[in-house]
Chains A and B, each alone.
Chain A
Amino acid sequence: MMAYKHAIVVGASSGIGAELAKQLLESGCRVALVARRRDKLEAIAATFPDAAVVAEHDVHDTAAVPALFQDLCKQLGGLDLVVYASGVMPPVGMHEYDTAKDLEMVAVNLNGAIAWLNEAAVRFEGVKAGTIVGIGSVAGDRGRSGQPVYNTTKAALATYLEALRNRLAKLGVTVVTIKPGPTQSEMTAHMPQAKMMPADEAARRILAKSRRTGEHYLSPAHAVIFFVIRHVPSWLFRRTKI
């Protein structure tokens, strides 16, 4: 299987995105690292000065994406993989309905993804090749009481990616939805870490699964558990503490 040669990773400053960028760089891929925190990106890029391109960008700024996307492709010399890994999941109380906090999740987890992956879709439809990877979440499989809007953004992202897949797969474009379970990262730092998958392990599994179009969990156990969870009737699900 051919290695990726040119990739853009949005949300490359920490967590899964940073690990994906590092592993792609280690494999010889030229990578554009995109995120707000330039210092974090440059720390990663410092080890791969000839292969890494640093782009400071706030995913709220969707209007800037088309020009930046085109410029990054030029700097990379091509493109065969785009990963959208930006995401936020602030702590939300069980009785909290904070619209500003919720819309921030929509902006980062969904609007930014649409802005970046629409550009990827245009390009990959044109060249009839390429891979789009969106980092969703098992949290998008059901509407849970603990994180209503985080669940919503990940469910919407999965639906959006499914639609892209239905448009592009017949042209030879691979569209992948990854549904990690709890993963050690800044986003989950406020949660107990012990049973979480390390980010580097998650990144390894994501790259392996990125070759096959479709939705993927990162472990067989998750695939089974969330198959069951998805099929629990709503009247029963609301009685659980999941």
Chain B
Amino acid sequence: MIESSRIVRLSGFGGSQSADGYLYRPASVEATADVLALARREGRQVVMRGAGRSYGDASVAGEAVVLDLSRMDAVRSFDATTGVIEVGPGATIETLWRHGLDDGWWPAVVSGTMFPTVAGALAMNIHGKNAFRVGTFGESTLSIDVLKADGSLVTLSRDDPGFTNIVSGAGLLGVVVGAKLQMKKIESGELDVHAVSCGDWDAQFAAFARYEATADYMVTWIDAFASGSSAGRGMFHAGFYRHPPVVDQATLRPSAQDLPDTIMGLVPKSVVWRFLKPLNNRVGMRFVNWAKQTAGAVLEDGKLVGQSLVAFSFLLDYVPGWQRAYAPGGLVQYQSFVPREAAPRVFARQFEMQRERGLENFLSVMKLHRPDPFMFSHGVDGFSLAQDFKVTDANREGLRLLAEAMSDLVLEAGGRFYLAKDSLLRPSDFAASLGQAGVDRYWAAKSAWDPDALFTSSLARRLHLDPRCVS
């Protein structure tokens, strides 16, 4: 019998989705296999959890055994000449950059926060601001060690057919218990960053077009409260690696990268979320977005500045615990991926829908992507727009209806979705985004890797990806 006291309530990062499960935190592959055996004996399903950074319900499941892999965080080997690093599943993006930086190696793909685990990054096949250039996390992964539902261990290289299914598979096929990654050679711990103030949607897409051939990273922030001729305004940034003869050895140290723990040397960042909380409403966020745009246009526009890789990459880590400003209802992020030609129309219309319903998002970020071969791929030859919405009891139903309307637009345009962010898709939305071939591919993989549906999540149950929950 499972120990009753292992029960815990766990949430996704956004704090709007939670479930009660029995938490196990094994420290070895053998102990992980024992947890799977226990779950099978007890007739319980297993949900995998890394750092719990997926926004929605991907790392929780009611009444399941929660397999938390974060204790298996070792760097197993590192070759400073090739940049190949082998890590346990609980190693984080932070583990990677801190380990490689002194020798001039940086993770090829990083998310907007350094805290996700490698296993989580592989399960969701995360992307970064360089997605248009280097693709997703799986594309810089050389091999993975996978514990199957029956407890057997296999190693998959990039050429194995299962590789592109396990990577991106949302933890529904097998447990990643180790990974070998190729890091990116860098000569400096700083990027040259160009800032462009964009007055509207056209200017945003023009900035991406202008820098696409040369930039290593591109990202833009958009003010969702701006309307009329200002709709789509925001601040675009393009980042460029520094190349020889520039060698900034002094920047290739973790101490040169660490973010300050105070703002302007005065206010501890740990309390900043408390100051954000009173502003975290439509009126306050309209002001914050306006202020950010105005400050960017005046102080940053057209400038080229040096910025550390950590500061440029991990914007979400600037304010620790910022998501707590969304309590008690939490936040949901809605991120859709739309082919190039349709993206301007679809994203502009999504903003209009929000204004019509009084449900503007509080933070919007747009990036450029490229297609990839992974099973639950969100990669398209086009753009993604990530949007944070505050959840309250009063707007919960409205958000659901808004998401449905926005998803209809995305699907009409041949777009896709990203399970690390999702809380709001209907089963039919996700199936339609995959297409019949994609759906068939998933079920074939599920039958082959996890025929008894040991692995699940609230997300899988919601999107009818768990055969035990499909009527």
- Could you tell me which A residues sit within 8 Å of B by CB distance? 66-67, 69-70, 73-74, 77-79, 119, 122-123, 126-129
Contacts and interface: CB of A to CB of B under 8 A. Distances in A.
B295 interface: no
Given A78-B20, A122-B5, A122-B7, 16 more contacts: A66-B4, A70-B4, A73-B63, A74-B63, A77-B63, A78-B62, A78-B63, A123-B4, A126-B4, A126-B5, A126-B6, A126-B7, A126-B9, A127-B8, A127-B20, A129-B9
Nearest to A2: B393
Contacts of B19: 78
Contacts of B62: 77-78
B401 interface: no
Nearest to A125: B5
Contact of A70 (B2, B8, B9): B2
30 contacts: A66-B1, A66-B4, A67-B1, A70-B2, A70-B4, A73-B63, A74-B43, A74-B44, A74-B63, A77-B63, A78-B19, A78-B20, A78-B62, A78-B63, A122-B4, A122-B7, A123-B4, A123-B20, A126-B4, A126-B5, A126-B6, A126-B7, A126-B9, A126-B20, A127-B7, A127-B8, A127-B9, A127-B20, A128-B9, A129-B9
Contacts of B5: 122, 126
Interface in B1-47: 1-2, 4-9, 19-20, 43-44
A128 to B, nearest CB: 6
Contacts of B63: 73-74, 77-78
B1 A123 contact: no
A128 B18 CA distance: 12
Contacts of B6: 126
A77 B19 CA distance: 10
Contacts of A77: 62-63
Interface residues of B, number: 14
Contacts of A74: 43-44, 63
B46 to A, nearest CB: 13
A123 B7 contact: yes
A129 B328 CA distance: 14
A119 B5 CA distance: 9
Contacts of B8: 126-127
10 nearest A-B pairs in the assembled complex, by CB-CB distance: A127-B9, A126-B7, A122-B4, A78-B62, A74-B63, A127-B20, A123-B7, A77-B62, A126-B8, A122-B5
A77 B44 CA distance: 11
Nearest to A73: B63
A70 B1 contact: yes
Contacts of A128: 9
Contacts of A123: 4, 7, 20
Interface centre among B6, B43, B63 (most CB of A within 10 A): B63
A71 B19 CA distance: 17
Interface centre among A66, A67, A123, A127 (most CB of B within 10 A): A127
Given A77-B63, A78-B62, A79-B20, A119 B9 contact: no
Nearest to A121: B4
Contacts of B44: 74
Interface centre among A67, A79, A122, A126 (most CB of B within 10 A): A126
A79 B9 CA distance: 11
A178 B322 CA distance: 41
Contacts of B1: 66-67, 70
Contacts of A126: 4-9, 20
A122 B62 CA distance: 17
A120 to B, nearest CB: 10
Interface in B317-336: none
Contacts of A79: 20
Interface in B365-417: none
Contacts of A129: 9
Given A74-B63, A78-B62, A119 B20 contact: no
A106 to B, nearest CB: 25
A78 B5 CA distance: 15
A122 to B, nearest CB: 5
A179 to B, nearest CB: 29
A9 to B, nearest CB: 19
A42 to B, nearest CB: 23
Contacts of A127: 7-9, 20
Interface string B39-82: 00001100000000000000000110000000000000000000
A191 to B, nearest CB: 39
A174 B146 CA distance: 43
Nearest to B5: A122
Contacts of B20: 78-79, 123, 126-127
A18 to B, nearest CB: 26
Nearest to B20: A127
A123 B8 CA distance: 8
Interface string B117-152: 000000000000000000000000000000000000
A78 B7 CA distance: 11
Nearest to B45: A74
A44 to B, nearest CB: 24
A73 B63 CA distance: 7
Interface string B234-249: 0000000000000000
Nearest to A76: B63
A70 B4 CA distance: 8
Nearest to B393: A2
A1 to B, nearest CB: 10
A119 B7 contact: no
Contacts of A67: 1
Nearest to A71: B43
A77 B21 CA distance: 10
A29 B129 CA distance: 45
Nearest to B43: A74
Nearest to B461: A77
A129 B11 CA distance: 13
A67 to B, nearest CB: 6
Contacts of A122: 4-5, 7
Nearest to A69: B4
Interface string B146-168: 00000000000000000000000
Nearest to B64: A74
Interface centre among B6, B8, B9, B19 (most CB of A within 10 A): B9
Nearest to A66: B4
A129 B7 CA distance: 12
